[in-house]
Chain A
Amino acid sequence: MDEVLPEEFDVILIGTGLPESVLSGALSRIGKNVLHVDSNEYYGGSWASFNIKTFDKLMSETQMHQEDNSNPVNLEALISEDEEFLLMSASQQNLSNCQSYCYLSKQPDWVVATNVVEPNVVAEPDEVEISDDKDSPVDVATTAPTMVQKHSDTEDLSCRDVDFEERNNSDNDNEKPGVSDKQSGDPAKEKSTDNDSRNGQVDAFNNATSEEKLENASDQSSQADLPHKETPLFPFYEKFYENWRRFNLDLSPKVMFSRGQLVELLIQSNVCRYLEFRNVTRTLTVLSGENRLQPVPCSRADVFKSKFVTVVEKRILMRFLTLCANFEQHPQEYEAYKDRPFQDFLQSKHLSTKVQHFIIHSIAMVSEQTSTMEGLHATQKFLKSLGRYGSSHAFLCPMYGVGELPQAFSRLSAVFGGTFCLRRRVIGIVADKTSRAVKGVIDSTGQKIKCQHLVLDESHLPDICRSGFKREVSRAIYVTDKSVSPSETEEVSLITLPPVGNFPLYRVIEAGPLCCLSPNNYYVVHALTKPSCVDENAIVDLKETFHSAEKTMFAGTAAELEIANNNESDKQKPAVLWAAYFNMMSCGVNNDSLPGNVYVMSSPGFELGFDKAMNEARRTFEIICPDEEFLPRAPEPEEIVFDDEGYKSENNGNSRENPNEQPEAGNGDYMETEEDLQEEEEPDVQGLIDQEQGVGDHVSDGNGDNA
């Protein structure tokens, strides 16, 4: 393994989040010599996806100050007199208020233990030993503040993969009928271990601030003395973690507008070759005063099928959507409302409260107070995406999670010669004293690497270029035992929960095995909301923040439901088996202290799609390479030119005749002009009007500014 990197690059990028990776791919693609480093051992930064065990670990570690074990670098030797050194911040505080909980009972220890009276006593030294020969985790786990130490079994989770597997294997071995038969005859042991197994949860509840939870906890302790139920409602903790690798949990869940910039770029650049996608198959919301998730009719077909809107409402809704699709052509329709709230405009169009709700929260995805212009643009953007990949679908999501996207663009960069180095921390920037331009960076091995341009993700800003942190997004992730709204086929759902009382608006994405986000029979529910708290330093209990969303979507946690075993009321709703809460942070950039050839990429925010990140990458590319094409098409494998022999062309010929060959990407198929788009889109909306009314005030084409 080469440790030493080349000494000079055109562009150095620090951080492998999505905008940096897209930029990296674009720069390499046109021949720039690129170095891309990340201090993490994984790709994606704040855009990464993790398996569940890594996620638990992340939640327990992030609040700890990360010790830097590398040798101090002798800066004097590296920096000349006409240079200055800007120290990079050692810690990347992009997550805060992290907590994770598993609500499942451990497998009764009589299944596992053999000759042991007090199983936990044996288990502990064992665990310490396992973790001891690892580089870091034990200290972190044991010294972590109680705030973080919510997980009932953090020590276990700090073990490396192999150890974990071995433990699982031994558990499995002991599950053999003979073993359990032998052990199950001892009721005393059963009782005591049952108690032990529940301690974890009791801890979790004790740590929660909510009083209600404390009550539950004491209930639970008394319950724990009862003999174990024959058929547990939920899988055991061990069973649940058996498939820990098959979870892909996003730090920043998002969906792709089917006609958004990301999709166009993926196709145009051929990066889509590296990825697989699924449709978001339905949009759900909760109407005010109700406590039930309802499908939002988006497309013509949806509207016709919908049982929730009347015929009159359908007609008005479709007329309205037709207007929105080409609203620029009809300024007289909205002129008076331009600067007034979108809701006023909707009211003026005689849309019912219910339909207004659908449009504001689930189609435009704005708020009541958003201006009419913004609302119209947002609605149009949605309608443009609708139907591209399936009549009632407007969004796609990458399989295996959002974290695949930066990896795919990074691969493009590597394929065109980009140099990639994970686990490499840059300790500071070297700038010219007079021109203030960046000349290079110094990494933690003490190597000085020159560059013409430097791209940083926000969390890698030098301290003096920062202007304070703020909470950008509050997040919750749940693993549940069924969908929030079960249906015959597996769905991928986008859910908006409008603000109720003191609770904010929540945006929710639910997906499962179909998107390879979880093993079979489990679902992953991502919830996002905008933080309300002004004091950035206050410790926030995010469980409280998400209380209302949880009440709407879930029956309760597995631990709660096990106690209230016979409560039939919420059988339809899923149980929460595992949950994590955290804040995504962002920091302000102090542009005055930032050298001119340094470009800062922002952290993922609350926005639903990827346009912001794509714009950022594109804008930066245009500054660095003003006259070059942004992500031109990369060749198909069949197009790679093999100089001479007929041998090759024969192969090419074969594959082209291959009936299973994919049609070539990047051709005119998708590169319609705006006019084409309009023409293709209109029949969808127009058709409905025709069917409904027998008339169509046909609108000629228009071009939409994709806001």
Chain B
Amino acid sequence: MASRAPQRPNNASPQGKICQFKLVLLGESAVGKSSLVLRFVKGQFHEYQESTIGAAFLTQTVCLQDTTVKFEIWDTAGQERYHSLAPMYYRGAQAAIVVYDITNQDTFARAKTWVKELQRQASPNIVIALAGNKSDLSNKRMVDHDEAAAYSDENGLLFMETSAKTAMHVNDIFLAIAEKLPKNDAGGTAANRPTSGVDITQGGGSNPQGGCCGRSQ
């Protein structure tokens, strides 16, 4: 499992396959990243959303036909505000939603730079979705739908216009990502590196044979 928190192999599950994926949100401040997550995870919307949630990440599961996809959703925690997001944030992410605000052209330009950044720095198989948020404010629209759709096509991104406020396409975009993610036997391991490291929460010291180290010699 390639998420930061080491997991047991997913295919160990007796009742159908469960895959866990790390999904990161990116985009300019105030485009609605946290609102999208809260809509998806909680089904809620707050007009004046606090910019921080106080959580390492939130989780939500999506059921596909034969697989359950569990998203570990990482919010920027406001570190994007002064362009100070740590690379650790998107390390090992298997999916990303890059969010812009359809009423603000600058946020679309910024979204493109995030896409570029991901294509350079993230794992090569990362599934990227572009979300044009605040689609309920279409009378203030500054970013053309077709332009964003064409850009997404060119770059192999999933694309939807979303509204955290009305819930339009919010579940859909997560579902589309879930469907596109590779769910092979490795339990959705997208990154090309060996299985997970040591789970340091598992070392009580009572097991000197070191069942958790996974690499007996």
Contacts and interface: CB of A to CB of B under 8 A. Distances in A.
A670 B204 contact: yes
A620 interface: no
Contacts of A407: 86-89
Contacts of A161: 120
B197 A415 contact: no
B193 A516 contact: yes
B215 A489 contact: yes
A419 B213 contact: no
Interface string B136-162: 000000000000000000000000000
A655 B91 CA distance: 24
Interface in A153-168: 161, 165
A37 B205 CA distance: 39
Interface residues of A, number: 82
A408 interface: yes
Nearest to A4: B82
Interface in B1-33: 4-8, 10, 12-15, 18, 20, 28-29
Most chain B CB neighbours (cut-off 10 Å) among A411, A666, A683, A684: A411
Contact of B81 (A2, A277, A415, A680): A2
Interface in B23-71: 28-29, 41-44, 52-61, 70
Contacts of A275: 4, 88
Contacts of A411: 56, 77, 79, 86, 88-89
Contact of A390 (B7, B59, B193, B213): B213
Contact of A662 (B5, B57, B81, B121): B5
B1 to A, nearest CB: 9
A379 to B, nearest CB: 18
A214 interface: no
A640 B54 contact: yes
A568 B180 CA distance: 51
Nearest to A256: B200
Contacts of B216: 390
A635 interface: yes
A415 B72 CA distance: 15
B81 A419 contact: yes
Contact of B205 (A2, A5, A415, A680): A680
A165 B28 CA distance: 26
B10 to A, nearest CB: 6
Interface residues of B, number: 67
B84 A669 contact: no
Contact of A277 (B41, B84, B89, B198): B198
A408 B89 CA distance: 8
Contact of A273 (B5, B15, B198): B5
Interface stretch (A76-84, A421-429, A459-467, A607-615): A421-429
A399 B81 contact: no
Contact of A640 (B55, B120, B210): B55
B197 A399 contact: yes
Contact of B79 (A5, A245, A414, A423): A414
Interface string B156-193: 00000000000000000000000000000000000001
A461 to B, nearest CB: 23
28 contacts: A266-B200, A267-B200, A274-B88, A275-B4, A275-B88, A276-B4, A276-B6, A277-B200, A279-B198, A281-B215, A282-B217, A388-B203, A389-B213, A390-B215, A392-B217, A393-B213, A411-B88, A415-B54, A416-B52, A420-B82, A420-B84, A513-B194, A514-B194, A635-B55, A640-B55, A645-B42, A660-B10, A663-B201
Lowest 9 A-B CB distances belong to which pairs?
A: A390-B210, A390-B213, A414-B77, A407-B88, A407-B86, A421-B82, A665-B201, A422-B84, A420-B84
Interface of A: 1-2, 5, 43, 161, 165, 245, 258-259, 263, 266-267, 270, 272-279, 281-282, 387-393, 396, 399-400, 404, 407-408, 410-412, 414-417, 419-424, 489, 513-514, 516, 634-638, 640, 642, 645, 647-648, 651, 654-655, 658-660, 662-663, 665-666, 669-670, 672, 676-677, 680-681, 683-684
